[in-house]
Amino acid sequence: MSDASVQVRNWLADQIRSRIVGSDPESKNAAIFDTPGERWFSDDSPIRIVHSDAAIFVGGLRALLLQSLHPLAMAGVAQHSDYRSDPWGRLQRTAGFLATTTFGPAELAEQAVAVVKRVHERVVGFASDGRAYAANDPHLLHWVHLAETDSFLTTQQRYGHVRLTPEQADRYVEDAALIARKLGVVDPPTSVAMLRRQLAAFRPELRGTTEAREAARFLLLEPPIPIPARPAYLALAAAAVASLPAWTRWPLRLPFLPVSEKLLAAPVGTAVTQVIRWSMQRPG
């Protein structure tokens, strides 16, 4: 590999780590991956395949867009989240939670769940339509879990280095259900078929709100990232939008161009995840 290629790879890796992991990534990774102890999931579990693949970057963005379609969940984000002033801080906390519960020792995973529950206790209020919401409400937790699980699985199957078999996909949903129950979700799906049915059951509750459309515009068009990294981010954003169901587009005022998405967005999504995967395989 040429010196120029190594420099590009290292720059990309540093950009990703600084935004996803934050400061001192080596110590944080060591605490999760090197601390001895029993884990919730085995080394060959599907959840580890999915949550370690670069496709999860696309899945995370898709999950945020999909979650925003529930007015009460979006109200909690709009009123209590600092996603505009500190988007990377929120992303780092989410990434840290996923890494800890997926790969970390059980004791640290339990602590991560307890932290989320404590934070959620403060996320209460009223949506613009007057309805009360609480982040620890099992029903809202259920929606957030469904949106994340569906997004991570969908993008893994589209853009992942490894495509899960149907059996592995079911096991992924079952793996994710363990974490969901710890957080307070009642009856999370344990198969792809259950995931699809439960997502469909939420459809009557979903709609586009002003807050949801503002969040989508911020995520897709106003990313606080360096100019050199914007083309890659925009490719991620296009891949995330292309992977959303058609019925989500109008509520969020997102385009639906099936031919263009098939011909352009999908290959671009595959290419950018390959670049991210390559950059994270840092030599030395």
**pLDDT (tens digit, 9 = 90+) per residue, 159-215?**
998 999 999 999 999 999 999 999 999 999 999 999 999 999 999 999 999 999 998
Between residues 271 and 247, which one has the greater pLDDT?
Answer: 247
Between residues 209 and 262, which one has the greater pLDDT?
Answer: 209
Give residue 155's pLDDT: 94
Between residues 173 and 87, which one has the greater pLDDT?
Answer: 173
28: domain range? 3-280
Give dist(CA 70, CA 92) in Å, integer.
23
Give residue 264's pLDDT: 59
Between residues 86 and 152, which one has the greater pLDDT?
Answer: 152
Give residue 276's pLDDT: 66
Q: In this structure, are residues 135 and 123 in contact, taking their beta carbons and an 8 Å threshold?
A: yes
- Quick check: helix, strand or coil at residue 202? helix
Give dist(CA 238, CA 74) in Å, integer.
22
Q: Where are the beta strands (DSSP E) in 57-171?
A: 124-126, 132-134
For the segment 151-160, the average pLDDT, to the nearest whole number, is: 94
**pLDDT grade, residue 57 (50/70/90)?**
confident
User: Is it the case that residue 8 has pLDDT exceeding 60?
Assistant: no
- Quick check: helix, strand or coil at residue 125? strand
Give residue 269's pLDDT: 66
Q: How many CB atoms lie within 10 A of CB 109?
A: 25
Give residue 235's pLDDT: 80
User: Is it the case that residue 137 has pLDDT exceeding 50?
Assistant: yes
Q: In this structure, are residues 24 and 121 in contact, taking their beta carbons and an 8 Å threshold?
A: no
For the segment 260-273, the average pLDDT, to the nearest whole number, is: 62
For the segment 249-264, the average pLDDT, to the nearest whole number, is: 69
For the segment 66-82, the average pLDDT, to the nearest whole number, is: 90
**pLDDT grade, residue 218 (50/70/90)?**
confident
Give residue 284's pLDDT: 43
CA distances from 270 to 146, 155, 160, 177, 193 (A): 24, 10, 8, 27, 26
Give residue 263's pLDDT: 47
User: Is it the case that residue 89 has pLDDT exceeding 60?
Assistant: no
Give residue 207's pLDDT: 95
| DSSP output for 103-117 | HSBHHHHHHHHHHHH
Give dist(CA 130, CA 101) in Å, integer.
35
Q: Supply the DSSP symbol for 246.
A: G
* Domain total in the chain: 1
User: Is it the case that residue 72 has pLDDT exceeding 50?
Assistant: yes
Give residue 12's pLDDT: 53
Between residues 101 and 226, which one has the greater pLDDT?
Answer: 101
